[in-house]
Amino acid sequence: MVISRDLLTYLAEYAVREPEPALLPLIEEFKKTYPNLRAILFYGSCLQEKDLTRSLVDLYLLTKDYRGAYRNPALALANYLLPPNVFWASRDRIRAKYAVMALWHLEKAVTPRWFHSYFWGRFAQPTALIWWKDSLSRQRALRILAQAVVTFLQETIPLAPPQGRIKDLWLTGLTYSYRAELRPESPKRLWELWEKNKDFFKEVTQRAVPALPFAINLQEDRYVAKIPAKLRKLAHVKWSLRMAQGKVLSVLRLAKACFTFQGGVDYALWKIERHSGKRLEVPAALRRHPFLALIFWGWRALLTRGVR
């Protein structure tokens, strides 16, 4: 799969940004905490916020490897087996939730070889590259974003009608991608996501089409996709499996968060309540066994409303 230079050029113009001044103290702290840090990605709903003190900033810290990122080998192993590791950080008035992942690992995770959509579904959406160690790290980070777009379209276009608007492609893909995680979004929320970023979605679609393994013709904001019926049926089967897999992965990631940083149980409960609508209470006795608490309470919430 060859990523077009046109797509990389566009992403270099769109994604490469100077960090907001309010983020600079956090970035300096990250550079000290993770000596092998290679790049920092900024994504999520607050990417377009002017006042970052009112939101929880979402960041991805990309390191050279896991051994050099942690003094604790257990954290390195957990990051490798079930990426990413998620932590909290705050500096001055900025609060951030940041994930740590090796650069090589994320490069692999945004390709079609990575079955679940957790990574390529996330980074196909607007993302900013706000820090990089050197030109090679910058280039690799941009290729990650480009590959995520191509993989997302390759895996989701067969779900959409044979013809329609580019908007239909993305709303269909985003719907399935969010359903495969602990973060289902309402049609209204997805529509707002499209409206805020429609120029980005249209631009990357135009530039990603040459890399797709099937024929799709674009005319302004409309498309015609010539995809065999067998491939469309296979796509629906794959997404059914991803949704089932996503429930398991969501619970495991939340359980892991209980052990990887202070306040992990509270973070996991907040995550479940935010995305499932279920407010859970964990007795003090169960807090001493966070894995059991999250498996029992979290799994019940996920089955009822977490991932539909």
Render the burial of 146-165: b for 16+ CB within 10 Å, e for the rest.
bbbbbbbbbbbbbbbeeebe
pLDDT of residue 62: 99
CA torsion angle 30 34 35 41 (round to 10): -60
pLDDT in tens, 190-206: 999 999 999 999 999 99
Which tokens sit at 225?
């996709």
pLDDT tens track for 2-19: 899 999 999 999 999 999
The pLDDT confidence band at residue 187, using thresholds 50, 70 and 90, is confident
Q: What is the mean pLDDT of residues 32-49?
A: 95
- Please enumerate, as own/partner, the contacts of 186-194 that have beta carbons within 8 Å and a separation of 24 or more: 193/125, 194/167, 194/170
Give which of 16, 196, 26 is closest to 97, Cα–Cα: 26
**Once rounded to an integer, what is the mean pLDDT over residues 56-73?**
96
Cα–Cα separations (whole angstroms), residue 90 to 16, 19, 26: 23, 16, 7
Q: What are phi and psi of 95, to 5 degrees?
A: -115, 135
pLDDT digits (tens, 9 = 90+) for 256-307: 877 766 555 555 565 556 555 666 666 665 555 555 555 555 555 555 544 3
Residue 100 has pLDDT above 60, yes or no: yes
Q: pLDDT (tens digit, 9 = 90+) per residue, 155-181? A: 999 999 999 999 999 999 999 999 998
Distance CA 301, CA 296 (A): 9
- Average pLDDT of the chain, as a whole number: 89
Radius of gyration of the chain (CA): 19
pLDDT of residue 299: 53
What local confidence, expressed as pLDDT, does residue 49 receive?
A: 84
| List of E strands, the chain | 37-43, 56-63, 85-91, 94-102, 127-132, 163-165, 215-219, 222-226
- Domains within the chain, CATH numbers bracketed: 5-227 (3.30.460.10), 250-306 (no CATH)
The SS3 call for residue 57 is strand
How large is the average pLDDT for residues 222-247?
97
pLDDT of residue 254: 78
Buried b vs exposed e over 195-232: b needs ≥16 C-beta within 10 Å?
eebeebbbbbbbbbbebbeeebeeeeeebebebeeeee
Q: Region 94-116: what's the mean pLDDT? A: 97
pLDDT at 116 over 80: yes
* 34-50 average pLDDT score: 93
The 10s digit of each residue's pLDDT in 76-90 is 999 999 999 999 898
* Alpha carbon distance 283, 115 (integer Å): 36
Structure tokens, 242: 């991803």
pLDDT reported for residue 307 = 39
Q: What is the pLDDT of residues 125-153, one digit of tens each?
A: 999 999 999 999 999 999 999 999 999 99
Q: Show Cβ contacts of residue 161 under 8 Å, excluding neighbours closer than 6 positions.
A: 168
pLDDT score, position 53: 86
State what percent of residues in the chain have pLDDT above 90: 71
